C-alpha cells in the first residue's frame, strides 16, 4: 500500500510544511547504463515535484559510474547545503566479480556518508542480474524506483523532523 504523499502529510502540520518549503535535495546519477539511470532520475524528479518541491529545491549531478557515487555524496554532504541526497544508478551482473565489487562498495560508501554526516542518503542503485530487470524497475510508471526514491527521501525527512520537533 502506497503511503500518502509527504505534502499531504505536511499540510496537517505547519512546521512540517515549512520544512518542506525549505528542503534542498541533491540527486547523484551514475552515467553508466544511462538509459536506465536517466529514467530513474526523471521519475525521481517527478515524484519530488508532485510532493510539493519546486525545481529550485532540487540539484542534479552526474558521475561516471556507481563506484564514484560515494565520494561525490561525501563532497556534497561536507557542504551542508542539502537535507537529503538521492543516489541513482544501475549495476548489471556480468561474467566477472566486477558487479559484486561495484554494488557492495557503492552501498557501503553511501551508508558511511549517511552515518558520518547524519544525512539521509537514499540508495537507489539497482543491482540486477539482467538488463531487463533494470528496465522494469526503471519503467515509465510509479513503480519506477526513482519515483520511490523521491518518496523515501521526503518520508525520512518528515519522520526525522518529527523527532526534532
CB 3 within 8 A of CB 47: no
Which residues does residue 63 pair with via DSSP β-bridges, in sequence order?
Answer: 30
Q: Which of 3, 54, 81, 98 is catalytic?
A: 98
Query: For residues 126 and 106, what is the distance between their CA atoms, to the nearest angstrom?
Result: 11
Q: Which of 91, 30, 113, 13 is nearest to 65 (CA)?
A: 30
Residue 98 annotated as catalytic: yes
HEC assignment per residue over 43-80: HHHHHHHHCCCCHHHEEEEEECCHHHHHHHHHHHHHHC
Question: In degrees, to the nearest 5, what angle opens at C-alpha 41 toward C-alphas 38 and 46?
Answer: 130
Q: Known catalytic residues?
A: 98
Amino acid at each position: 500500500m502506497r503511503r500518502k504523499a509527504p505534502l499531504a502529510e505536511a499540510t496537517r502540520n505547519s512546521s512540517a510544511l515549512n520544512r518542506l518549503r525549505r528542503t534542498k535535495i541533491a540527486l547523484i546519477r551514475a552515467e553508466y547504463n544511462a538509459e536506465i539511470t536517466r529514467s530513474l532520475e526523471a521519475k525521481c524528479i517527478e515524484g519530488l515535484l508532485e510532493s510539493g518541491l519546486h525545481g529550485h529545491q532540487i540539484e542534479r549531478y552526474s558521475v561516471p559510474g556507481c563506484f564514484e557515487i560515494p565520494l561525490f555524496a561525501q563532497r556534497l554532504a561536507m557542504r551542508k547545503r542539502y537535507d537529503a541526497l538521492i543516489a541513482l544508478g544501475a549495476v548489471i551482473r556480468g561474467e566477472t566479480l566486477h558487479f559484486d565489487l561495484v554494488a557492495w562498495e557503492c552501498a557501503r560508501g553511501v551508508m558511511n556518508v549517511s552515518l558520518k554526516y547524519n544525512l539521509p542518503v537514499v540508495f537507489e542503485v539497482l543491482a540486477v542480474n539482467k538488463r531487463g530487470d533494470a528496465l522494469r524497475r526503471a519503467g515509465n510508471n510509479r513503480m519506477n524506483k526513482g519515483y520511490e526514491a523521491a518518496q523515501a527521501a521526503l518520508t525520512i525527512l518528515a519522520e526525522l523532523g518529527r523527532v526534532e520537533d
